[in-house]
Amino acid sequence: MDRIPILKMGPFLLVTIQVDMYDRLALNLENDLIIMVQKNGSKGVLIDISAVSIVDSFMGRIIGNIATMSRIMDAETIVVGMQPAVAITLVELGLPLSGVHTALNVEKGMALLQKKLADDLTEDSESEAEMDDNDQSE
Amino acid sequence: MMEEVQKPIIEVSLDTELDLVIAYKKAMQLAEISGLNFTEQTKFATAVSEISRNALVHVGKGDIKFYITKDGQSFFIEAIVHDSGPGIKDLGSLLKKLELQTGGQRTGLVNCKRLSDKFEMDSSEEEGTCVRIGRRLPGSHPPINHMILSGWRKHFSQLAPISPYDELKRQNILLLKTLEELRVKKTQAQEQLEEIQVLHLELENNYHKNKQLSDDYARQNELLLKRNEELDEFAHIVSHDLKSPLNNLKGTLKLMEMGQIDQEKTVVVFKGQLQKMENLIQSVLAYSRAGHEKLEKTTVDVGELLKEMENNIVLPEGFTLEIERNFPVLFTEKIFLYQIFSNLLSNALKYNDKVEGRIIVGYEQNETGDFCFFVEDNGPGIPLKKREKVFKIFTVLENTKKADSTGIGLAIVKKIITEKGGKIWIEEAKAPGEGSRFCFTWPAELVQ
């Protein structure tokens, strides 16, 4: 059965959809991504859809599902390279892909993911520091 | 309104989800050459994807056809998805319900409606569901007329396949079509073959009938020829034999006229010759009737019949008649057998030149299973050359000429036997010394 390859790049997973998506392929991707996130403890998923010419409600739902599931697994999802026509169609369809971060291209998407990772780290260290402070004050 | 019922420009059957890809790609291609911009193309293709998926998800099978239609002043690119499912029972209320639904997950139908300038839906239990979506072409669309549309049809039919699956599908459809054509041809060939076989059978039957008829005809002809020959011979002999008493009468009359013979003697000669003629005519009649009588068949114990005959025969002194045992019981005409045996027995007695005459009557079943009877004597015997001749009418052998021989007995016997399908022939006597054995076969049913 066909599968879309998922590349591991440090703490992130990179998916480039270069083929025509059909339902089974999309469902397999969803499944594979979640397993990979869990296996690698990935912090972000970057999906490049620059070669995808149409996103209908089913595909939209799959992307939304990936984002939601990843967030539950403590990973951010960023969809990059969306064609303007696809974006317009999605809006007309009333599918805003809520919960899915987007970026214009892969570079910007990676930068966004890294920033988010850095933010998380500082947040974590700050909260740890706060906790330390609290300990000290006690 | 669709301008007229026209042939679709593209047609895609929806069997698997892979067909969705083909459907939206084709939609995209058609939208592109119809002059829609990229965004519009995407919207139309997305709408096509939505309704196609709907048909696949709810029914599992359907087809989508693409048209270019004219409505008023505008041209539309249209897609009609049809499935042969059970239909949607309350279409009106469903559409209304969908209309009111906002946000969240929408069904493909509503999405489709949002993306289209035209949306129609029909559903019935008999004909399934049919969804028509259309997108208005911009004013700057390329020229469109019948010629151009048929050119597009040709273009799309010759377009390179979108994916290996598309190519496979195309070839599969072609194969199925060829297979169907082949099947039809095969059925036709089969029908023709059957027809030919029937004709052949008829011909064969006719041939057999003809052959049988011609065989029958040949047989009858042969029989007729033989009968004719016999009749000729018969006529010749009869006239010859009848002539001799007539000549005698003539001669006697002449002598009487000349006064060389007295009246008394003349009367005696006349009586004798007339009696001879009467006997002759009676024999001729008996011969011509022989074997033709329709007699009833009865159960005949041949042994019993022979014993009866033995009792009625007065044997000359010194003569013995030996009747073997184990004669069969047959279902046949008793009179005929009686006639045959009595003729053969009387001949055996009449022509026996020995002092101690010996006659044997016997029976054996030959190799073909026929009943074969024989009457054997120790008389003078019959030379090989004359064995056929003795069965001819009015034939009496020189050395056995006797006053009471008419030469008709054996002719009658042969006639009866041949009329019944049997055979008669003469062999040397099996017992040592002179003599002959008259054998004959007699077709009949054996009574157990």
Domains and CATH numbers, chain A: 6-137 (3.30.750.24)
* DSSP secondary structure of B195-247: HHHHHHHHHHHHHHHHHHHHHHHHHHHHHHHHHHHHHHHHHHHHHHHHHHHHH
Model pLDDT for residues A85-122, shown as the tens digit of each residue:
999 888 888 887 877 899 999 999 999 999 988 888 88
**Cβ-Cβ contacts under 8 Å, A92 against chain B:** 43, 114-115
Partner-chain contact A20 B21, CB within 8 Å: yes
Decide the pairing of beta strands B358-365 and B371-377: antiparallel
* Residues B286/B407, Cβ–Cβ less than 8 Å: no
| Strand arrangement, sheet containing B74-83 | B10-14, B62-71, B74-83, B128-136, B118-124
| Listed residue (A64, A60, A69, A59) closest to A31, CA to CA | A69
Q: Chain A: give the shortest CA distance to residue B188, in Å.
A: 43
The pLDDT of residue B400 is above 60: no
The pLDDT of residue A138 is above 50: no
Question: Can you tell me the distance from the alpha carbon of B382 to that of B428, in angstroms, rounded to the nearest whole number?
Answer: 8
Chain A segment 43-82 residues within 8 A of B by beta carbon are: 53-58, 61
**Cβ-Cβ contacts under 8 Å, B18 against chain A:** 22
Partner-chain contact A53 B45, CB within 8 Å: yes
Using beta carbons and an 8 Å cutoff, which residues of B are at the interface with A?
17-18, 20-21, 24-25, 28, 38-39, 41-43, 45-46, 49-50, 53, 102-103, 105-106, 108, 111, 114-115, 162-163
- How confident is residue B397, by pLDDT bands cut at 50, 70 and 90? low
The pLDDT of residue B172 is above 50: yes
Question: Can you tell me the distance from the alpha carbon of B174 to that of B187, in angstroms, rounded to the nearest whole number?
Answer: 20
Check if A127 contacts B (Cβ < 8 Å). Answer: no
Partner-chain contact A93 B111, CB within 8 Å: yes
Residue A97 confidence (pLDDT): 81
**Cβ-Cβ contacts under 8 Å, A53 against chain B:** 28, 42, 45
Model pLDDT for residues B200-212, shown as the tens digit of each residue:
999 999 999 999 9
Check if A87 contacts B (Cβ < 8 Å). Answer: no
What amino acid is encoded at B73 in this protein? Answer: Q
Which SS3 state, helix, strand or coil, does residue B192 take?
Answer: helix
Decide the pairing of beta strands B128-136 and B74-83: antiparallel
What amino acid is encoded at B225 in this protein? Answer: L
